Amino acid sequence: MTAILSVERLAKSFSGVRALEGVDVQVREGEVLGLVGPNGSGKTTLFNCVTGFARATSGRVSWQGRDITRLAPDQIARLGVVRTFQQKMVFPNTSVRANLAIAWGAGARSANGASLFRDCDDLLRFLGLTPMASFPAHDIPFGFARKLGLGLALAAGPKLLLLDEPAAGLNEDESAELGELIGKITGLGVTVWIIEHDMQLVMSISDRIVVLHAGRKIAEGQPGDVAANRDVISVYLGEKFARSS
Amino acid sequence: MTTALARFTGNITGRYPAGDLLAIRLPIALLLCLPLLAPQLLPSSRLLSLAITAAIYVIVANGLHIIFSYTGQLSLAHTTLWGLGAYTAALLIDHYSWPTIALIPSAGLVAAAGAVAIGIPAFRTAGFSFAIITFAFAEIMRLVANNWTGLTQGSIGITVFAAPSSLGSISFDTFDNLPNFYYLTLGFAYVSILGVVLIRQSRLGKTFVAIRENQELARSVGINVYAHKLTAFALSGFFAGVAGVFFVYHQKHIEPGPISPFSAFFTIQFLLMILIGGRSSMLGPVLGALVVVFGPELVNTVFSDALTPARTQIVFGSLLALSVLTAPNGIAGQTREGFRAVVTTLRHSRARGRSWPVSALLALGSGFVPWAVPDRTLDDREREAS
């Protein structure tokens, strides 16, 4: 498999604090790549740099061979690299359907005509949000708002979807459902790069996993190998994975 | 029509957009026709002149609505763009005697260009910084108008002695044919309302609102926020510029003084209009403009003209403060909330088996005491759906 996105020696400092130091990551077409690491290890910063929401101090991000390091977030999104956010991010006073319609009209779909869904109603069905299509987005329960956030990214027509802790705040059932949903999304041919603290979820859905610690990549590989890696266990998985398995 | 009726009879849910209901659209349409009768209804040409002022304010406020209410950008340069349109018209009349048909698009475009020129640096920032930068540009424009005496005659201003006074064979001279001039201005006020409605319902308008609601999210799905803000600002400037032409026709004079479009007084007054009328409604600016123009008259009438102008302003200002405190969503927003409360209470009350008269009484009451309405929950909706 070929790499569609490659991150090379990416570094990012915030007024002297080094959040990322020379990170290399290759995202291969069609895979689910997990990104894990303790809080403050630079996961979200890495996503921010890739999607243009933060400017890398040095290094390079290329998408399908094209340098996108200095592009604006909306330009990157229109190229097909779309992210979601950790927080509940929706257009609050707009109806659920209108939320999707906005993203539908703005993203990569409009830029290159590529579409994963026939129309917004098709996407609503895919997400299971049809019954609440006409409710204002701030009025729907948290779990559904999360799905809507995911739906907004999907409406934009991504080729690569970056999910920033999509399971945060969800209960076990909702997490499992989210895992299935991500499976369906990959089935549509979308490559997924996911930050997730829910180890069970990330281990079960990822083809490969990258581990960050203090702004450096400390491991990369198949979920089983990464879970067995001694560095990884010592900095991160140790207590947490032991508890959940 | 049948679908509208079906909605009205079968599907009045509290969440249904109130604007889609025949019950609320029809009265609004009738009220919107009322200004057509103003020349017959208003007893003096002074009041008709006030109505013209109101119509001009409606155009300006509608422009501000696009950038302030929809896109969420607090522009403090909006009325100055109105002044820019007025100067453009005054100069083109003075030097080249341009006809109305050419003045209106020119003044609109000059103000829109002014907006873009301000927006290009100003939209690099957001929030209060944006407001301060637009204020700085407004000050610069005022200083230029004051000091470029060769062009603007400085603080003396430009008096327009020969404003166009007819359109084809129809004369709208402000001395002899004031009603005609009123209708001309009113026509453009209607066009500006239509413009706001069309923009709000277009994809462009929905994108403006999305930017106001969550700028980062808008970016993440591929919306070019900067370009859309500039577009919104240019559109709002166009409205202001067009209003500038009517301002010059009506006042015959433009100067950068303390009660001109270049003053902070007007900047505040127009923001106030939108807050009073309602940011969330397409008709908010219209209601706000009417209140600001006719409110002091009403106060005077109530006190039988016994107040000095300053005291009228004190009373009127207190009433405004009171209205903003009690109706934070503006007149339009509060009316909509009230309407929803009536409909919801009526349905709930009927569902509990109370008789029609009792339900109607409760519903009417809840219209004025909105917090008495039971909250609708998702369970309610699911029950209704099934």
Query: Averaged over A219-242, what is the pLDDT?
Result: 77
Residue pair A2/A53 in contact by the 8 Å Cβ criterion:
no
Q: What confidence score (pLDDT) does residue A110 get? A: 55
Neighbours of B174 (CB within 10 A): 18
CA distance A131 to chain B (A): 8
Share of chain A above pLDDT 90, in %: 66
Q: What confidence score (pLDDT) does residue B22 get? A: 62
Q: Do B345 and B308 reside in the same domain of the chain? A: no
Note whether A106 contacts B222, CB cutoff 8 Å. Answer: yes
B221 touches chain A (CB under 8 A): yes
Q: What is the mean pLDDT of chain A?
A: 89
Neighbours of B343 (CB within 10 A): 22
Q: Do B273 and B158 reside in the same domain of the chain? A: yes
Take residue B216 and report the two structure tokens written for it.
């980062």
Separation of alpha carbons B111 and B97, rounded Å: 19
Separation of alpha carbons B293 and B274, rounded Å: 13
The Cα diameter of chain B in Å comes to: 78
Q: What confidence score (pLDDT) does residue A112 get? A: 55
In a domain, B85, yes or no: yes
Residue A199's pLDDT band, with cuts at 50, 70 and 90, is confident
Which residue in chain A is spatially nearest to B376 when comparing CA positions?
Answer: A139
Residue pair A227/A34 in contact by the 8 Å Cβ criterion:
no
Residue pair B281/B330 in contact by the 8 Å Cβ criterion:
yes
Q: Do B264 and B299 reside in the same domain of the chain? A: yes
Pick from B38, B52, B26, B95: nearest CA to B250: B52
Q: What confidence score (pLDDT) does residue B346 get? A: 82
In a domain, B20, yes or no: no
Residue pair B271/B110 in contact by the 8 Å Cβ criterion:
no
Q: Do B291 and B352 reside in the same domain of the chain? A: no
Residue A52's pLDDT band, with cuts at 50, 70 and 90, is very high
Note whether B220 contacts A85, CB cutoff 8 Å. Answer: yes
Take residue B365 and report the two structure tokens written for it.
């009451």
Query: Averaged over B10-15, what is the pLDDT?
Result: 39
Q: Is the pLDDT of residue B5 over 80?
A: no
Query: What separation in angstroms does the CA of A11 have from each of A40, A57, A214, B259, B276?
Result: 15, 6, 12, 55, 50
Q: Do B269 and B348 reside in the same domain of the chain? A: no
Q: Find the helix or strand (DSSP H, E) in which A162 lies.
A: strand A160-164
Query: Averaged over B243-251, what is the pLDDT?
Result: 95
Share of chain A above pLDDT 70, in %: 93
Query: Averaged over A123-141, what is the pLDDT?
Result: 92
Give the 3-state secondary structure of residue B43.
Answer: coil
Query: Averaged over B222-239, what is the pLDDT?
Result: 97
Q: What confidence score (pLDDT) does residue B8 get? A: 41
Note whether A74 contacts B382, CB cutoff 8 Å. Answer: no
Separation of alpha carbons B299 and B294, rounded Å: 9
Q: What confidence score (pLDDT) does residue B367 get? A: 73
Take residue B132 and report the two structure tokens written for it.
């301060």
Kindly report which listed range (A164-168, B4-8, B322-326) carries the lowest average pLDDT score: B4-8
Separation of alpha carbons B105 and B107, rounded Å: 6
CA distance B311 to chain A (A): 41
Q: What confidence score (pLDDT) does residue B358 get? A: 85
* Closest CB to B222 among A78, A85, A101: A78
More confident residue, A85 or B173: A85
Q: Do B288 and B339 reside in the same domain of the chain? A: no
CA distance B213 to chain A (A): 5
A113 class by beta-carbon count within 10 Å (0-12 exposed, 13-18 middle, 19+ buried):
exposed
Neighbours of B50 (CB within 10 A): 17
Residue B286's pLDDT band, with cuts at 50, 70 and 90, is very high
Look up the domain containing B202 and give its range.
Answer: 34-328
In a domain, B15, yes or no: no
Separation of alpha carbons B303 and B295, rounded Å: 13
Residue B307's pLDDT band, with cuts at 50, 70 and 90, is confident
DSSP-derived letter for residue B16 is S
In a domain, B3, yes or no: no
- Calculate ∠ Cα B74-B271-B141, nearest 5°: 65
Chain A residues near residue B207 by CB distance under 8 angstroms: 102, 105-106
Instruction: For residue range A158-180, list pLDDT tens digits in order.
Output: 999 999 999 988 888 999 999 99
Q: Is the pLDDT of residue B331 over 50?
A: yes
* Closest CB to A152 among B207, B209, B221: B221
- What ipTM, to 2 d.p.? 0.91
In a domain, B281, yes or no: yes
Per the structure, how many domains does chain B have? 2
The amino acid present at B169, given as its one-letter code, is S
CA distance A159 to chain B (A): 13
Residue B288's pLDDT band, with cuts at 50, 70 and 90, is very high
Instruction: For residue range B361-383, list pLDDT tens digits in order.
Output: 888 877 776 555 555 444 444 44
Query: Averaged over B92-99, what is the pLDDT?
Result: 92
In a domain, B29, yes or no: no
Take residue A228 and report the two structure tokens written for it.
């067995």
Pick from A85, A87, A66: nearest CA to A76: A66
* Closest CB to A134 among B15, B218, B224: B15
* Closest CB to B378 among A82, A141, A152: A141
Note whether A90 contacts B378, CB cutoff 8 Å. Answer: no
β pairing state of A81-83 and A3-14: unpaired
Q: Do B146 and B197 reside in the same domain of the chain? A: yes
What secondary structure does DSSP assign to A49-81, as a single string?
HHHTSS--SEEEEEETTEE-TT--HHHHHHTTE
In a domain, B323, yes or no: yes
B300 class by beta-carbon count within 10 Å (0-12 exposed, 13-18 middle, 19+ buried):
middle
Instruction: For residue range B145-154, list pLDDT tens digits in order.
Output: 999 999 999 8
Q: Is the pLDDT of residue A241 over 60?
A: no
Q: Domains in chain A, ordered, with CATH?
A: 1-75+159-167+191-245 (3.40.50.300), 81-158 (no CATH)
> How far from each other are the two terminal CA atoms of chain A, in whole angstroms?
31
Q: Do B367 and B266 reside in the same domain of the chain? A: no
In a domain, B360, yes or no: yes
Q: Is the pLDDT of residue B339 over 90?
A: no
Instruction: For residue range B204-225, list pLDDT tens digits in order.
Output: 999 999 999 999 999 999 999 9
Q: What confidence score (pLDDT) does residue B374 get? A: 52
